[in-house]
Structure 1
Amino acid sequence: MNQILSPTPTMSSREIAELTGKEHKNVIRTIKDLLAAEILDAQIEPLKFEYRGQWFDYYELKKRDSLILVARLSPEFTARLVDRWQELEYQSKQHNVDINNPHALRKALLEYTEQVIELEHKNTGLEKSIKVITQTNHGVKFQQACKILNIKRSVLADWLSKHGWDRRLNNARASTHYSQERGYCETKYEERTKIKANGELGSYSQIEFFILPKGMEVLAKHFGIRG
């Protein structure tokens, strides 16, 4: 029987770090220790990913190695990893097609076509959202970004913080040098006046945080358009 086989599923060390709640650098350290002890597959080589202008190692692990790794890192999370592997293996089986079976091949082609159409609809929604964003030179504020992306404020706040896009300045959200340099975010400062308790006029700087069109493109591609 001839089959179109999907690649052997793997799981990245970054996903394992997320599943177990461990820092990625600690996951990498454990992988290297296990490799040195010849417990993991000696053939696996580190890959690279970019973060904040720097390059870091990560690994793509097969099922056996990932289970061994998690057992060492955090035994209580082994069940969660097993569940994730079952999902990956199920998805892999779904993509195996008997090309000599016209019915199976036709079904696979229809499913693929439906996926392409769905993706085109999502891309159209994404393009419309980006057009709305680019209508202003200042991008959008945090709350507006949440509405466009259809995600909770806590989700976006957590993402911005983890990726170094924002910081706290005078108890307000502001952009970082990293996000400004890449054109993702911008902070506007406006001098305002207010009446003090003693009746005198005082001045203060109002801080406004904006996510620019380039930053929204990154966010929209990451979170997708959620209906």
Structure 2
Amino acid sequence: MQTHDSRAVPSLAIHGTGGPLTMSSREIAELTGSTHDNVLKSIRKLVKEGVVSGNETPYVHPQNGQTYKEFRLDYRDTMVIVSGYSAELRAKIIDRWMELEEAERAKPLDYSNPAVVLGVIGHLQEQVAEQAGRLKKLDRLEAAKGSMCISDAAKTLGVARDYLFQFMSARRWIFKRSGNKNWLAYDDKRKALLLEHDDHLYMDNLGQERVATRVLVTAKGLVKLAELLEQPLH
């Protein structure tokens, strides 16, 4: 199988074509300064683990005419792939998605084209099916009892653990005090019964009894997070 360094590819590969917007693995490599080979390796590993979905698709190199492989990823899977990158690189990816979404909203549809009409009908049918599945998921979460740690919440919501911590921090659900490694919940999220604190005793290295606090996500918090994760991180 042929691979190459994405930095040799001048044309970037975000596209919509009337369907769900996707980002190419070549685009991720270009924006993050990585090689396409390394990005492909990371994606293949996560696909094999079932963390992200996707199949390798062929494309023709615009300069040498040869065929190579790439992935096309939706917003959620793209964010999972770059969750381990620096904040600066993640910001580049998010900014690029925002540009794409804005361009897609501004593009008029040609309703005289039967293919466009069929595409709109198909999209609406998909939206109805997705909404039905989403409502079932929210009903299941809302019926859940008790609370769970953020790591378990990430598994329940189907997102990467580190990504959920970053997402909740960016949305001002959780924070860290200066010099403290433990995450805490913002008061407004506790008052809204979305999060709660769990205090437990432990022995430190000197044999001293200490109290540690961790954040738990309530059933109501799971439902709200599920709703927020449906939205782009603007």
Tell me which protein shows more strand as a share of its residues: 1
- Shorter-chain TM band: 0.3 to 0.5
- Scaled by the length of structure 2, what TM-score is found? 0.46
Could you tell me the TM-score, scaled by structure 1's length? 0.48
Higher relative helix content: 1
Larger radius of gyration: 1
